[in-house]
Amino acid sequence: QVQLIESGGGLVKTGDSLRLSCVGFGRSFEGYNMAWFRQAPGKEREYLGDVSGNGRHIYYNDSVKDRFTIFRDMSKNAIYVEMNDLKPEDTALYSCAAGGYGDNWNVYNWWGQGTQVTVSS
């Protein structure tokens, strides 16, 4: 069974930093792009960024590129997002995905269940 499992979410304060992890199980994701998305209540799913299948190319949503860093560890079959200077508007369910590319969530084949991030003011 192929799974993506996220971790690292929680309740933090404005200005805090947080690192989310997403580890793949059941298959290797080498050769497949992996991505992060988030969805806040009542809002559409938002693309944060993705990393190419070889881990060498990283793409960001302009809205987060100054505060978020996305990277992969190919040896761990994992993708991470380092989030700095968090704001209440970053509160959302953060999910990783694999097997697609770019900002269209519809094209990704595999999804994790998500990890909740809540930023208090």
pLDDT tens for each residue of 25-67: 999 999 999 999 999 999 999 999 999 999 999 999 999 999 9
Quote the CA–CA distance of 18 and 120 in Å, as a whole number. Answer: 13
Residue 94 confidence (pLDDT): 98
Residue 42 confidence (pLDDT): 94
Mean pLDDT score of the chain: 97
Residue 84 pLDDT grade (very low, low, confident, very high; cuts 50, 70, 90): very high
By CB atoms closer than 10 A (0-12, 13-18, 19+), residue 92 is buried
Strands, E assignment, 8-91: 10-13, 18-25, 34-39, 46-51, 58-60, 68-73, 78-83
Tokens of 96: 């990783």
Q: Which residue has the tokens 């998305």?
A: 37
Instruction: Evaluate whether 97 touches 77 at the Cβ level (below 8 Å).
Output: no
